[in-house]
A and B are shown apart, each in its own frame.
Chain A
Amino acid sequence: MPSVLPGALVAELFILGLMYGLLYGVLAMGLTIVFGVMKVVNVAHGDFVIIGSYLSYWAFVLAGINPILSLLLTIPFGFLLGALTYLGLIRRVQNSPELMSLFLTFGISTLIGGLLLFFYSPTQRAVPVALGSIEYGSLSIPVNISIAAAYAIAVAIALRFFFYRTYWGKAVRAVIDNRTSAILVGINPDMVSLKSFGIGIAIASSVGSIVMLLQSISPLSGPDFTLISFVIVVLGGLGNPPGALVGGVVLGVVESLSSLYVNAAMTPAIGFIIMVIVLILRPQGIMGSRG
């Protein structure tokens, strides 16, 4: 630990943490929307990220398409894949005890990881695009992370618009708020679940495209993303989308700043430490209102 912290370093770590946090927060929003609507914990959430990453990887390798452009592919593909997964699998367990859906999505996660391993081998894959950094005075912010943050903000704004300005978005909030009352006003909960699962997976796989700008991935990277989303969802309050965004930012900033004090190998533990603290002090999450 440096004896005097240079202000620029702290500012840089703060901004980087904020940017990563936005991306992880948006990813966790996908998980929490699904949980809020159908009380299903999607253990395969991170594996859908990796599916998006592989799509972007192959789009780059085979057709030279930049991962940013392949968002146009992974967003609709993710929505469709999510809708089909809901129709074929999730729908069958959504009214069963929660353990059933946990087993099912765990199975989906294992299946996705296994299939990717089988077809693409355990090799780490990366897209070699060098984007450089932007310098602001003494701050240096990598362009790829800035793109990640910009995408996250765009998704958050789009979700905000959907949930608060469109009738169907309000119907999704109604189901999250009080499922029985939503049914009693005539909302078809299966229709809302279908759309929500589609949205959740579209978020996951499109984040996968962005991830290809940031790091290398392998078929078994999925659970890392599930875990971090899960921590954030608990931080922000289960089933609370804006809470997930706040939770993501808190986690990103704290993790980033903690690198000043603790060994990088410890960083993943930071998330769990914050989660435990929040669970003790505010079991309903940072933004949760109901006990």
Chain B
Amino acid sequence: MSVQGIDVYYGETKVLHDLSLKVENAELVALLGSNGAGKTTTLRTLSGLLRPAKGEIKFDSHSISELSANRIAGLGISMVPEGRGLFTTMTVRENLEMGAFAKRARREMKKTLDEVYSLFPILKDRQNQLAGSLSGGEQQMLAIGRALMSKPKLIMLDEPSLGLAPIVISKVFDALKALKENKMTIVLVEQNIDGALRIADRGYLLENGRLALEGNPTEIRNNEMVRQFYLGL
């Protein structure tokens, strides 16, 4: 996926300024920044929920900036939205089934379901419960599981650690690491900079809708501004 110089507005307000980034295959890229930096807006734009006013987004060398969000999902770009966005009135299993809506995923639904259950066994135990009745950590696993049901080529996660206990966070990050080792391409949005940099291959830092910094985890960690303002060292 490559993003070239996009501007994104909410109404009259410009929120992303000339943003460019790149995600290579099988790479885990962290998109970092404090609250309000524009991380969610970036993901919403990449998934087609928002349209860039300028610039281009390419996936598999095709431009996707003009496609509707459901078409983009069909191409294999899957998003775990901020706040998880589960179908709370549907069961765990139904949530996972809906994850496989895209045509190429639906044919293999049974098989993928087994894979997701083996990644998160707790979801199998809870498969007939309503998604809304799960604990926060289980909900996050379900949200990730649902995204995986589409057999995505690229999965984007918006603050999966938000509101979770530390022990649950490390479980979620372990799962992401396992996905990465299986050659999944991942974009991980986090305010938890330290945790994200531990599993990322590369990172981008957003400030006020602009790219402030990019590099590998060591470069970002050693940046003077990051040390001072984000890591509090």
Binding site for B on A (CB under 8 A): 167, 170-171, 173-174, 176-178, 180-189, 289
Contact = CB atoms under 8 A, between A and B. Distances in A.
Contacts of A185: 73, 78, 98-99, 101-102, 146, 149-150
A51 B73 CA distance: 40
Given A170-B90, A174-B90, A180-B49, A187 B98 contact: yes
B88 to A, nearest CB: 7
B81 A170 contact: no
B49 A186 contact: no
Nearest to A240: B89
Given A170-B97, A180-B49, A180-B81, A186 B87 contact: no
Given A178-B87, A180-B49, A181-B86, A186 B81 contact: no
Most buried by B among A182, A183, A185: A185
A127 B97 CA distance: 47
23 contacts: A167-B106, A170-B94, A170-B98, A171-B101, A173-B90, A173-B94, A174-B90, A174-B94, A176-B89, A177-B90, A178-B85, A178-B88, A180-B81, A181-B86, A181-B87, A183-B69, A184-B69, A185-B98, A185-B99, A185-B150, A186-B73, A186-B150, A189-B70
Contacts of A170: 90, 94, 97-98
A173 B87 CA distance: 9
A96 to B, nearest CB: 16
B79 interface: yes
Contacts, number: 70
The 7 A-B pairs at the shortest CB distance, nearest first, are namely A186-B73, A181-B85, A186-B102, A177-B87, A186-B101, A183-B69, A186-B74
Contacts of A171: 98, 101
Given A170-B90, A182-B98, A183-B69, 12 more contacts: A170-B97, A174-B90, A180-B81, A180-B85, A183-B70, A184-B49, A184-B78, A184-B79, A185-B102, A186-B70, A186-B102, A188-B70
Contacts of B74: 186
A161 B101 CA distance: 19
Contact of B85 (A173, A184, A189): A184
A177 B101 CA distance: 16
Interface string B60-102: 0000000011100110001101000111111000100111011
A181 B81 contact: yes
Contacts of A186: 70, 73-74, 101-102, 150
B70 A167 contact: no
A291 to B, nearest CB: 13
A185 B98 CA distance: 7
B47 interface: yes
B204 to A, nearest CB: 22
